[in-house]
Amino acid sequence: MLDATGRTVVHLIEPQHLFVAALVDVFSEAGLFVDYVGATIDPRRLLDDQPDVIFLDTDYLEDPLDAVRLARALAPKANVYVYSSGASDAVVRAFCVAGADTVLEKSADRRAIVQGLREAVRRRSRRHE
């Protein structure tokens, strides 16, 4: 769902509160609007908002794969973006099977994150044209 001003709406799931401000800046640089920030997924809010992007920092979630499955089930049109420090090939495959559209390693620099977010939104837009 685009907000009233046409911005792409993001739900940011970031259990480490110290990183929220920096990530919100990254989303802003990518032209995205962070509508919700939480340490875990809020199922009711996700159902009601139907955001365009769900960004999950999975490192400190109790069950990261279940979080991705829940995000995909509750907001099937959203782009589910996983941010992980352990993005080996097997982990990336597991996240994709669970419903992630994009998996990015935390060692990526800011430019790579912004580019990844922009590409994720472009893919989502093409998928829903």
Rounded to whole angstroms, the Cα distance separating 116 from 103 reads 9
Closest alpha carbon to 14 in 54, 71, 51, 65: 54
> How many domains does the chain contain in total?
1
Residue 3 pLDDT level (bands cut at 50, 70, 90): low
* 3 in any annotated domain: no
Domain around 13: 8-127
* 94 in any annotated domain: yes
pLDDT in tens, 60-97: 899 999 999 999 999 999 999 999 998 789 999 999 99
* 17 in any annotated domain: yes
* 118 in any annotated domain: yes
Rounded to two decimals, what is the model's pTM? Answer: 0.88
* 109 in any annotated domain: yes
**Matching residue, tokens 């875990």:** 40
* 2 in any annotated domain: no
* 110 in any annotated domain: yes
At 80, which CATH number? 3.40.50.2300
* 41 in any annotated domain: yes
